[in-house]
Structure 1
Amino acid sequence: MVKVTILGAGITGMAIASQLPRDYEVTIVARNLPGDPDSTEWASPWAGAVFMGMDGSNLREQRMQLDAFASRWKIALNNPESSVRRVEMHDLMDFTPLEKVWYRDHLPGFHILSKDELPAGAPFGMAYQTIVLNPGVFLPWMRARLEKTGVKFLRMTVQSLSNLCGLGHDYLINAAGIGPRYLRNVMDQKVQEVRGQTILVKSDFDKIWIRRGKDYTYALGRQDGTTVLGGIKQFDNKVTSVDGELRNDIFRRIHENLPEAFPSADPLAFTVLRDIVGIRPQREGGLRIEKEILDGQKVVHAYGVAGGGYIFSWGLAREVCHLVEQFHFTSSNTFEPLVAVVKL
């Protein structure tokens, strides 16, 4: 029996567990677990959780993202109880021209928005079909499905990967998000902490709308009577209290860009369900998906998704599983090492 321990119970860790062979014994270890009371100690519960192609992605990253999109597109059809929904997205670019949009030929219903569909000053926009989900529903749903297949969840505070040696695994997967910055035998200082602040409001807004430019602004209609309004990216800022000035600025930007859906910039005109502040992991230099032997453990690192945990999810997971296979087949001398390839 091959035994695998995954450090991290967020979307990345659980997606990896879902793609490992069913005859593996898998344990997910984390300080915070799906279904826990709200905590800003981890990022997955606070994400906007939509699919959008990430600017500047290389070919490898593009393949992982499209693989993840295809997987959740199917979940939206087959498992509506998961909260995953198919939805129209309006994706506006202030600086990126069409020829630089790598996903333009890959997403269903892709077309260019007319000038009448753009807010004042927006030079270019696209529409296509994408997916959205509610992390508060999806994460416990995912955990329950994994537990039915035999995956175990263990609560544990880990300060070093060496803390996990006693679990008796053959392979350890490090999907700890921000954790690798602080794990004593990893200490990856390329990992950055990025503060995000959003507002969850009651609304029947039925699209995903995002403007990528000088002011990063979005309205994410979750198809459940709520919409997430944002946003901001603040590097090396770990303050989890609400910034009132930024909050008012988000309302202003949302109103200016979507006046028909949100006819006032006055915060009192919105039915606010909660303010959300979360710290997202990002990594200078991009993803780290690689294997190494560390303190006697066979480790596969899987982190650095730049706030794109839900965007990479299953695609990243399948590449990680290929690296586990490389470790396993090489150590057993049964097969030559496999090349990590993600099928589209």
Structure 2
Amino acid sequence: MEKPGNEAVIVVGSGVVGLATAVVLAEAGRRVRVWTREPAERTTSAVAGALWWPYRIEPKARARAWALESLSVYEELAGRPEETGVRLVEGVMGETRLDELGPWAARVPGLRAATTEEYPGSALWARLPLLDMPTHLRLLRERLSRAGGTVEERTVTDLAEAEAPVVVNCAGLGARTLVPDAAVRPVRGQLVIVENPGIREWLVTTDPAAGTTTYVFPQPDRLVLGGTTDEDDWSTVPDPKVAAEILERCAALRPEIAGARVLDHLVGLRPVRDTVRLEREILPDGRVLVHNYGHGGAGVTVAWGCAREAAGLVGPAPSR
């Protein structure tokens, strides 16, 4: 156990929320250790579509505030896309109207209603952060290292194993057994990665009748196609039939995708909860436990806002 006065913080989880939280704490002067069952490259965050947009996340008011705070961070990082993995990219959010959004939408760059010539139905144009997650996760690890933080690969079966004055639980779906919290459940997402035939704009569209959401996200070296929202499905094995359906739906939107060479198939399990759990708990022995999990498919969207609030719950670093 850490010696009294060292004020070490252990962050459990190395997805985008866990690493962002660790970075905020370390850059504020805390001595941070990240414990992770698997490296960031194998977390759900690594296979996220990673378009900034408040998506299926509660409570709405807090989530919008977290999202806007994160938007400001991403806008700054977008000035160095090769280093940060963040670009501001124009695209269309289908089946969405301005009057459905709250006051937060006024802060979104380039937001306007699409014309009927641009999209057959209600839709919005916007210029949103789109993240290349492998690059962005590498940036977070590098920032953490420069601030003196460390990442340790170890399997945690009980939060009590993290014997430090302060523990931050960013375990995502792992919180289901670690807390334990049965309210956290998986929503499976499957992606197909193809060569980019020259597409520069992202596109998201939903079909309520079919219950599908289809999206096309251009990255510098590839095109990310999706997707699925399979409730309570724990399988991480790509389904060839689902992959074929994703390709068909995307090609219907952008015909040039039909001939694109498939590079990879990916699956991620979104850690969904009815509401995000972001709160401070005092353990019986007096140690501080801060929970920061349950972000579902919006982890990238709210990561920095949640990280800063979690750091505030931890409290300031002790004076040296």
TM-score by length of 2: 0.90
1:176 to 171, 178, 182: 171
Which residue of 2 is the match for residue 275 of structure 1? 265
Which residue of 2 is the match for residue 44 of structure 1? 45
Q: Give matches, 1:255-266, under 5 Å.
A: 255-259=251-255, 261-262=256-257, 264=258
2:295 to 295, 298, 305: 305
3-state SS in 2 of match to 1:159: coil
CA–CA separation in structure 2 for the residues paired with 1:80 and 1:63: 27
CA-CA distance at 1:54 after TM superposition: 2.3
CA-CA distance at 1:270 after TM superposition: 2.2
Does residue 161 of structure 2 align to residue 163 of structure 1? yes
Which residue of 2 is the match for residue 336 of structure 1? none
- CA deviation vs aligned residue, 1:34-74 (integer Å, no higher than 9, x gap): 35xxx4xx311111111013257521110100111110110
CA–CA separation in structure 1 for the residues paired with 2:56 and 2:230: 18
3-state SS in 2 of match to 1:116: coil
Q: Which structure 2 segments of 5+ residues have no match?
A: 1-5
Does residue 64 of structure 2 align to residue 62 of structure 1? yes
**Which protein, 1 or 2, shows the higher relative CO under an 8 Å CA cutoff with sep ≥ 6?**
2
Q: Give matches, 1:177-192, under 5 Å.
A: 177-183=172-178, 186-192=179-185
Which residue of 2 is the match for residue 144 of structure 1? 142
What amino acid does structure 1 have at the position aligned with 2:72?
A
Which residue of 2 is the match for residue 342 of structure 1? none
- CA deviation vs aligned residue, 1:237-275 (integer Å, no higher than 9, x gap): 11222212211211121122233x43x3xxxx2211101
Greater Cα offset, 51-60 or 66-75: 51-60
3-state SS in 1 of match to 2:106: coil
1:216 to 204, 213, 216: 213
> Structure 1 residues 115, 56: closer, same or farther in 2, change over 3 A?
farther
CA–CA separation in structure 2 for the residues paired with 1:64 and 1:99: 21
CA contact (8 A) 1:178 1:193 kept: yes
3-state SS in 2 of match to 1:115: coil
CA–CA separation in structure 2 for the residues paired with 1:88 and 1:231: 20
Does residue 112 of structure 2 align to residue 111 of structure 1? yes
CA-CA distance at 1:201 after TM superposition: 0.7
Does residue 132 of structure 2 align to residue 134 of structure 1? yes
3-state SS in 2 of match to 1:232: coil
CA-CA distance at 1:233 after TM superposition: 0.5
CA contact (8 A) 2:22 2:32 kept: yes
CA–CA separation in structure 2 for the residues paired with 1:6 and 1:258: 42
Which residue of 1 is the match for residue 282 of structure 2? 293
CA–CA separation in structure 2 for the residues paired with 1:126 and 1:244: 32
Greater Cα offset, 227-236 or 243-252: 243-252
Which residue of 2 is the match for residue 86 of structure 1? 88
3-state SS in 2 of match to 1:69: helix
Overall identity of the aligned pairs, in %: 29
CA–CA separation in structure 2 for the residues paired with 1:114 and 1:200: 30
CA–CA separation in structure 1 for the residues paired with 2:192 and 2:100: 31
Which residue of 2 is the match for residue 7 of structure 1? 12
CA–CA separation in structure 2 for the residues paired with 1:67 and 1:79: 19
3-state SS in 1 of match to 2:297: coil
How many residue pairs end up in the alignment? 306
Which residue of 1 is the match for residue 223 of structure 2? 227
CA–CA separation in structure 2 for the residues paired with 1:212 and 1:62: 22
- CA deviation vs aligned residue, 1:184-208 (integer Å, no higher than 9, x gap): xx11000011111110111121111
Which residue of 1 is the match for residue 238 of structure 2? 242
3-state SS in 2 of match to 1:63: helix
> Structure 1 residues 140, 242: closer, same or farther in 2, change over 3 A?
same
CA contact (8 A) 2:98 2:113 kept: no
3-state SS in 2 of match to 1:142: helix
CA–CA separation in structure 1 for the residues paired with 2:251 and 2:115: 20
Q: Which structure 1 segments of 5+ residues have no match?
A: 333-344
What amino acid does structure 1 have at the position aligned with 2:238?
V
3-state SS in 1 of match to 2:40: coil
> Structure 1 residues 180, 84: closer, same or farther in 2, change over 3 A?
same
> Structure 1 residues 56, 315: closer, same or farther in 2, change over 3 A?
closer
CA–CA separation in structure 1 for the residues paired with 2:305 and 2:186: 23
1:196 to 189, 194, 199: 189
TM-score by length of 1: 0.84
Which residue of 2 is the match for residue 321 of structure 1? 311
CA contact (8 A) 1:55 1:101 kept: no
CA contact (8 A) 1:181 1:190 kept: yes
Does residue 271 of structure 2 align to residue 254 of structure 1? no
CA-CA distance at 1:294 after TM superposition: 3.1
3-state SS in 2 of match to 1:178: helix
- CA deviation vs aligned residue, 1:211-249 (integer Å, no higher than 9, x gap): 134220100011x13110011110111122221221121
What amino acid does structure 2 have at the position aligned with 1:62?
R
